[in-house]
A and B are shown apart, each in its own frame.
Chain A
């Protein structure tokens, strides 16, 4: 036992850069510089955004977050409708994409015959390679008219009493944007979830099966709990993509700066308003307000990432403990 430990120590020493060897030192320095670049870029980015947003922060203060006025002619700006549109469209997309992605991942990792696994996985991943402007155009010319003529009127006619399904329906709007976002984040979530499900050791599954568990029970009791950190990570990556997606959303969300109860109503996201207005803005308060929106989007993404990390740590460590014991 002690000889094994000695050996391990030796390897550990070897993996550290030895003093006096120029190549190793150089390599360490280069690697450090590469890592430092990221920190430098982020710091500069935040600094630039903050500096650019300063006129708007000074002019509106905290009201910027709560005001839903956005009037470039009168030079009055508020972010509330955009924050709402960004978060709600992304969450709606998750609501649709997560169950579907998990279904895909479970089938591909547990039930699919071997010959079907890679082609099917490849096709799902292919969705990620489609440029977002193509999704946007497809959204305008195919999806939005389809939703506007079939699904949305059906809900509006039969469940219109519930405010979130109330009309009028246009086809384009929050719901159409969420559907496109869901399709766009599907490959991310399903691919990463599938990987983490494949990593669950077969001992666990066999143990469950030995106890007489049905296929569904095996997935529920052994695969899902152990793959949970990976699944949550996958969902967060998907959410990140949904929050920042610009082109496709801009083309079909309707771009109306308004908060309305119905998911069929047009809305507006932070990324969309920046994409729409930035090119034509000259300096001044309007520019500062757009930069402040960018800063807010960065903060939202950061907060969600932190939250996700906490979640992964909590659930992840629990699962690992169970796995070890």
Chain B
């Protein structure tokens, strides 16, 4: 009796699996052939895989979704496993494109079996969030004060340096607790790159990277770990992505920029920061924003990249990849602001176009000329 029961459920399970497989197969059959993109190039049917950065994942998913609606013959599968893993997988050629929040170093590029190109996609800002009694909003910070706080040389909220930046604010006599990202992240890379630019002490003692040896403070895992610890700890200060801070309505600080103005982090002020470096872009597009010019520029920001091989081995895949990149830079920019990312100014798009045109199959460029 029991035996037949087991057999019955096995048969049922097998039937369920078969039905599922049919559904999946039917869904897969829906797209075939190719349609032409706005740029006049036929987009072939292809399946692309990518892996890497988590920071741009929301905008990339939006892009894949919208691109997929226009070109259902292209199927893009992206795993947001972290920039390091993205670099590793594109180097090992297990994915068609990688994604990283930090530009690859010369040593990393040298390990790749062929020439890799950096395609900057979007920029994002990093926001200083804090929790101190009496300053519910509108804290002002100078680069010097910020770096000293994270170096551990300014340890109290009523430090004269903080009072000087924020006239009229009554700071409590409370210890400052700094909170940083404990997991390696592009956010940390942007933040430490900024401190590295503005503070010689930071440059010589700590440096920049996705993980650094923090002089003090607590480590929180992810944006939620940092914001959780900041909001739960009186006297805490930390840094998170702009989108995360806005969506969770965290208090954030204005930063003093190179022009001497205190600027709040917004999509507009980050766009201003990007504008400040367009004139001096390096040829390989490995961009460092440093401490950008521009009177309205919010200074703590950085680009995230898609990494692709210059010489594509598979014509259909290469064509689909280039079509997607071209679409993302041109048509995709209309989706960025809603997700608190910053797209490239027109002058920069031209340079990125030139970079995409370098991607070729057998010497033949795959991009619209």
Q: Write the residues of chain A forming the contact surface with B, with a CB cutoff of 8 angstroms.
A: 69-74, 137, 140-141, 144-145, 148, 168, 170-172, 250-251, 254-257, 266, 268, 272, 275-284, 286
Shortest CB distance A125–B (Å): 27
Which of B83, B214, B220, B229 has the most chain A CB within a 10 Å cutoff? B229
The answer to whether B182 has its CB under 8 Å from any CB of chain A is yes
Interface footprint category on B: 35 or more
Contacting residues, chain A, for B219 (C-beta < 8 A): 254-256, 266, 268, 276
Residue contacts A-B, CB under 8 angstroms, 16 given = A71-B212, A72-B184, A73-B209, A170-B233, A250-B182, A250-B221, A251-B221, A255-B182, A256-B216, A256-B219, A266-B219, A276-B182, A277-B211, A280-B210, A281-B84, A282-B91
Complex CA–CA separation, A145 to B234 (angstroms): 10
Q: A277-B184, A283-B111, A284-B107 are in contact. List 19 more A-B contacts (CB 8 A).
A: A70-B213, A71-B212, A72-B212, A73-B206, A73-B213, A140-B225, A148-B233, A171-B232, A250-B182, A254-B219, A256-B218, A272-B182, A276-B183, A276-B221, A277-B183, A280-B185, A280-B211, A282-B91, A286-B211
Does B207 lie within 8 Å of A255, measured CB to CB? Answer: no
Shortest CB distance B240–A (Å): 14
Does B218 lie within 8 Å of A72, measured CB to CB? Answer: no
Shortest CB distance B164–A (Å): 26
Does A140 lie within 8 Å of B229, measured CB to CB? Answer: yes
Does B183 lie within 8 Å of A275, measured CB to CB? Answer: yes
Contacting residues, chain A, for B182 (C-beta < 8 A): 250, 255, 272, 276
Residue-wise interface mask of B (66-90) relative to A, using a CB-CB cutoff of 8 A (1 in contact, 0 not): 0000000000000001111101100
Give B82's nearest chain A residue, CB to CB: A279
Shortest CB distance B234–A (Å): 9
Complex CA–CA separation, A256 to B214 (angstroms): 8
Does B218 lie within 8 Å of A266, measured CB to CB? Answer: yes
Shortest CB distance A275–B (Å): 7
Does B232 lie within 8 Å of A280, measured CB to CB? Answer: no
Does A254 lie within 8 Å of B218, measured CB to CB? Answer: yes
The answer to whether B116 has its CB under 8 Å from any CB of chain A is no
Shortest CB distance A147–B (Å): 11
Contacting residues, chain A, for B216 (C-beta < 8 A): 256
- Given A72-B209, A172-B218, the answer on whether A279 and B232 have CB atoms closer than 8 Å is no
The 10 closest A-B pairs by CB, nearest first: A280-B184, A255-B219, A279-B82, A255-B182, A73-B207, A280-B84, A71-B213, A140-B228, A276-B183, A72-B211
Shortest CB distance A247–B (Å): 8
Shortest CB distance B200–A (Å): 15
The answer to whether B290 has its CB under 8 Å from any CB of chain A is no
Identify B213's interface contact among A72, A172, A279, CB under 8 A: A72
Give A140's nearest chain B residue, CB to CB: B228
Complex CA–CA separation, A281 to B105 (angstroms): 13
Contacting residues, chain A, for B295 (C-beta < 8 A): none
- Given A170-B177, A276-B221, A281-B184, the answer on whether A141 and B209 have CB atoms closer than 8 Å is no
Identify B83's interface contact among A70, A254, A280, CB under 8 A: A280
The answer to whether B251 has its CB under 8 Å from any CB of chain A is no
- Given A255-B221, A279-B82, the answer on whether A74 and B183 have CB atoms closer than 8 Å is no
The answer to whether B286 has its CB under 8 Å from any CB of chain A is no
Does A140 lie within 8 Å of B84, measured CB to CB? Answer: no
Shortest CB distance B105–A (Å): 8
Identify A279's interface contact among B177, B183, B217, B224, CB under 8 A: B183
The answer to whether B208 has its CB under 8 Å from any CB of chain A is yes
Complex CA–CA separation, A175 to B214 (angstroms): 21
Contacting residues, chain B, for A168 (C-beta < 8 A): 175
Identify B208's interface contact among A73, A279, A282, CB under 8 A: A73
Contacting residues, chain B, for A140 (C-beta < 8 A): 220, 225, 228-229, 232
Contacting residues, chain B, for A171 (C-beta < 8 A): 232-233
Does B232 lie within 8 Å of A148, measured CB to CB? Answer: yes
Contacting residues, chain B, for A141 (C-beta < 8 A): 228, 232
The answer to whether B314 has its CB under 8 Å from any CB of chain A is no
Contacting residues, chain B, for A69 (C-beta < 8 A): 213
Contacting residues, chain B, for A266 (C-beta < 8 A): 218-219
Give B84's nearest chain A residue, CB to CB: A280
Complex CA–CA separation, A145 to B82 (angstroms): 30
Question: Which positions 268-282 of chain B face chain A at CB distance < 8 Å?
Answer: none
